[in-house]
Amino acid sequence: MKAIWNGVVIAESPGTNVVEGNHYFPPDTVNMAYLVPSDTKTTCAWKGTASYYTLDVNGRTNRDAAWYYPEPKEDARHIRGYIAFWRGVEVIE
């Protein structure tokens, strides 16, 4: 699986964890040079509190286009620290 935005591969992994249709990439398969921590947080009833990253690629930004669960609830422990994408990020095989 690959996550691509602004013509650049942000993440690439032979396997992801799919939850609610979103591919969560292992953190060591994501190029963190393109991710800038955000102050945004959201809460999911069963996964817990999500933290976000803004993408910064070739002079363009995509606010809060990646998220992860640093301390997920028990049922979501398999995605702890894994990173998912949205807001125009293309995830393909």
Give per-residue pLDDT as tens, 42-57.
Answer: 999 999 999 999 999 9
Q: What pLDDT band is residue 21 in, cutting at 50, 70 and 90?
A: very high
Q: What percent of the chain has pLDDT over 70?
A: 100
For 2-92, CATH gives 2.170.150.40
Boundaries of every domain in the chain? 2-92
Measure the CA angle with vertex 14, ends 12 and 20; round to 5°. Answer: 85
The C-alpha atoms of residue 52 and residue 63 are separated, in whole angstroms, by 9
Provide the 3-class DSSP secondary structure of residue 80. Answer: strand
CB 2 within 8 A of CB 23: no
Q: Provide the pLDDT for residue 10.
A: 98
Question: Can you tell me which residue has the tokens 């969560």?
Answer: 24
Q: What is the pLDDT of residues 80-92, one digit of tens each?
A: 999 999 999 999 9
The C-alpha atoms of residue 9 and residue 34 are separated, in whole angstroms, by 10
